[in-house]
Amino acid sequence: MLKQGISVGLITFISRITGFFRAFLIAYYFGSSGTTDAYFSAFKISNFFRQLLGEGALGNSFIPLYNKLEETEGEKRGKEFIFSVLNLLFIFSSIITILMIVFSDEIIALIVSGFPLETKALASKLLKIMSFYFVFISLSGMIGAMLNNFRHFLIPASTSIFFNLAIIVSAILCGQRYGINALAWGVVIGGILQFLVVLPTFFKIIKTYSFKINWKDPYIKKLILMTLPMLGGIMARQLNTVIDQWFASNLETGAVTALENATRLYLLPVGVFGVSLSTVIYPSLAQAVAKHKEDIARKYIVKGLNILLFLVIPSTLVLTFYSEDVVRITLSYGKFGEDAVKVTADALLYYSTGLYFYTGIFLMTRAFYSMENSSFPVITSIISIIINIVLNFVFIKPFGYKGLALSTAIASGVNFILLLIEYRRKYIYFSLKKSTIFFIKSSLFGAIALLLSFKIHFSLLKLIVFGIVYLLFWGRTLYKNKMDVF
């Protein structure tokens, strides 16, 4: 599990790095103007359902249902379910694509009504091009979830790299000649690549395909009913971000940028550790639940929480105590001066206090999904949003933009604790004794690593020394006991 998690985490890290480079090239070639406003607006619209279909909601619903179906009715019935889901998804995504093309002017006018007419016209044109991306990313995301269920994690995790590379190459080779249109076609090509990359492994496993749809399959209805609450949760998280941005827009100049940059940094370990580990654990957890093997399911959850402690505690210490060093290494170039470093580092510090909660939410949410319960995570998300709004009002005056980051961390903590308590109460009870010991040991080893690296002035060397010292403390135990450590 740990080895697979590290592999997926590494691929995710490479994907995030290529994403950073993609953003840099767009800024380098096109700057910040009405042209880029049109591009990002059109892409955001065409990419909207990626949150639902390409990044997990539909796939997370599919996995427990497929495992239950295969366990009770056999492999042939499971494959029939796969074919029905993919065929229905193709029809649905094609209809949405056609609607986006036909009504692109109206969609743009509704979403970005404040744009000048020229910018609206360009955004509509770009949306027509990028609409085709939706078909490919929907199918790619769904097939990726299926591959995860069959223990093939690296190929689905790598698809975003190909997407980023397509846009990077389009910007470099065609950006100057074809302008912003090159990026739009780069998005479409990236979507096609993401789809093509997962196909060989899919057919290697499934070995056949059928274009038939079993319209009477009760599991199709269950899939839709499970996915709808997840969409609500996704929208809730997006609303949370919008609310923070609204509060920040009423503060001093640079507050919004500081929060945006800090968010990008703390989300890196969230993606590399939280998303990657939950992706690896979830199929095994869902299969254990489908087979009523409660002890195995309990083991996966406890191991997941402990692995996150092992990885996230040192990350939290680095991002809090060495926040300025991290910002300086990653962002302090060109016009990003020391003042920007300071305000971004302050926001990063407060965000990072909730890092374990952010990552743990991914794992516990999927634990509920394995029980075919997608509603309770939505309820906890709504509760956390309300708490976040209240705390924003409380903290914004004494702490400014730092208070917004702290509010997010506290609200995430409440979200995680509610998920943990309810799952242990309603489904599978597991002891937190081992996790408590892990927390203490990880915190102690991290504190020693801090003391031994604190006086080093060179930022990169400071972070390297911290990592080496922390791993040395765990080295003997990990070598001797391997996964049994967790």
Confidence of residue 314 (pLDDT cuts 50, 70, 90): very high
Contact (CB, 8 A) for 156 and 12: no
Task: Flag whether pLDDT at 250 surpasses 70.
Answer: no
Residue 466: CB atoms within 10 A of its CB come to 25
Structure tokens at 300: 């996966």
DSSP states of 248-308: HHTSSTTHHHHHHHHHHHHHHHIIIIIIHHHHHHHHHHHHHHHTT-HHHHHHHHHHHHHHH
H/E element, 214: none
Q: How do residues 391-401 score in pLDDT, each as one tens digit?
A: 988 888 888 87
- Give the least confident one: 126-140, 320-334, 427-441: 320-334
pLDDT at 10: 78
Task: Flag whether pLDDT at 53 surpasses 70.
Answer: no
Q: What is the reported pTM?
A: 0.74
Q: How do residues 256-270 score in pLDDT, each as one tens digit?
A: 566 667 777 777 777
372's torsion region: left (phi>0), alpha (psi -120 to 50) or beta?
A: left
Pairwise CA distance, residues 297 & 309, whole Å: 19
Q: Among 79, 86, 65, which residue's Cα sits nearest to residue 287?
A: 65
Residue 50 phi/psi, 5-degree rounding, is -60, -35
H/E element, 247: helix 218-249
- Give the least confident one: 245-254, 286-295, 337-346, 347-356: 245-254
H/E element, 240: helix 218-249
Residue 340: CB atoms within 10 A of its CB come to 17
Residue 367: CB atoms within 10 A of its CB come to 28
Q: How do residues 394-438 score in pLDDT, each as one tens digit?
A: 888 888 878 888 998 999 999 999 999 999 999 999 989 889 998
Is the CA virtual torsion 450, 451, 452, 457 positive or negative? positive
H/E element, 50: none
Q: Output the CA–CA distances (angstroms, integers) from residue 85 to 69, 220, 303, 352, 460, in the order listed.
A: 14, 7, 32, 39, 48
